[in-house]
């Protein structure tokens, strides 16, 4: 009888027993394909967790800060302009905003002031002088008509007798062809249709005039 032969590979096989099959490993799960909105650089940032949304909010914050700085600069500039304008106005450097001062009336190229008080001729002249003006010098009939639209009380004007002749306070000689003067006095006031000379100590309202601002 021949001895039993060993199966190739080593130890003899045991009759009636089989090796259990090895368990199979489950297949690896494949990553889902990126959605359409996750493709490209922006999708890469979003998927990588590097903060695409955070980047957007950072940009918004930067724009908001820039806007605030710009608004602050504009506010400072406007404040500086107001300060400069107030300083110039206090020094009288912005006279050209209106052709005439407050309470003065513009006619032609002159400004006129009609007083409510009554004083003698010299007092009226001094008042006009303190306001960089003079008693009114009338150069035409239309100018006299304009004056009587705002006064009916026969005011002093800048005309006075010097010796035997009348002269305006600005040094111009009086032209008798333009107006006639009645009365024996030295200082002149105006009526609606003529000029009248009387005593300078009489009290009357007065009219100042000066050149308008240009």
Each residue's pLDDT tens digit, 149-174: 888 789 999 999 988 899 999 988 88
- Calpha distance 79→197 (Å, rounded): 57
Residue 126: give its domain's CATH number: 3.10.100.10
What pLDDT sits at residue 144? 87
Same domain, 202 and 110: yes
199 plus 120 within the same structural domain? yes
pTM score above 0.75: no
Number of structural domains in the chain = 2
Looking at the predicted structure, is the pLDDT value of residue 95 above 50?
Answer: no
pLDDT in tens, 180-189: 899 999 999 9
Residue-number span of the structural domain to which 174 is assigned? 105-211
Q: At 43, list the tokens.
A: 């999708």
Contacts of 136 (CB under 8 A, 6+ apart): 112, 147, 157, 158, 207, 208, 209
User: Quick one: average pLDDT of 133-155?
Assistant: 89
Tokens encoding 114? 């009609």
Final residue belonging to a domain, choices 97, 131, 166: 97
Lowest mean pLDDT among 96-100, 136-140, 195-199: 96-100
Residue with token string 């800060």: 65
Confidence of residue 93 (pLDDT cuts 50, 70, 90): very low
The answer as to whether 17 is a domain residue is no
Give mean pLDDT, residues 134-148. 90
Say whether both 137 and 163 belong to one domain.
yes
pLDDT band at 116 (very low <50, low <70, confident <90, very high): very high
Looking at the fold, whether 127 and 177 belong to one and the same domain comes out as yes
pLDDT of res. 193: 83
Nearest to 121 by CA among 207, 201, 208, 209: 201
Highest mean pLDDT among 45-54, 78-87, 130-139: 130-139
Q: Do 118 and 204 sit in the same domain of this protein? A: yes
Tell me which of 122 and 39 has the higher pLDDT.
122
**Are 145 and 179 in the same domain?**
yes
């Amino acid at each position: 009888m021949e001895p039993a032969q060993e199966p190739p590979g080593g130890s003899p096989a045991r009759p009636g027993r089989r090796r259990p099959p090895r368990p199979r490993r489950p297949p690896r799960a494949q990553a889902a394909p990126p959605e359409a909105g996750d493709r490209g650089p922006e999708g890469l940032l979003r998927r990588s967790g590097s903060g695409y949304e955070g980047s957007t909010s950072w940009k918004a914050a930067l724009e908001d800060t820039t806007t605030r700085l710009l608004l602050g600069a504009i506010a400072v500039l406007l404040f500086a302009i107001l300060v400069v304008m107030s300083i110039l106005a206090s020094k009288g450097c912005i006279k050209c905003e209106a052709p005439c001062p407050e309470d003065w009336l513009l006619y032609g190229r002159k400004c006129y002031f009609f007083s409510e008080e009554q004083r003698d001729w010299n007092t009226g002249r001094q008042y006009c002088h303190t306001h960089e003006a003079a008693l009114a010098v009338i150069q035409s009939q239309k100018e006299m008509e304009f004056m009587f639209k705002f006064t009916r009380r026969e005011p002093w004007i800048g005309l006075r007798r010097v010796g035997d002749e009348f002269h305006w306070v600005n040094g111009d000689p009086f032209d008798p062809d333009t107006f006639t003067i009645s009365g024996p006095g030295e200082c002149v006031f105006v009526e609606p249709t003529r000029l009248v000379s009387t005593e300078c100590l009489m009290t009357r309202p007065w009219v100042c005039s000066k050149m308008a601002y240009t």
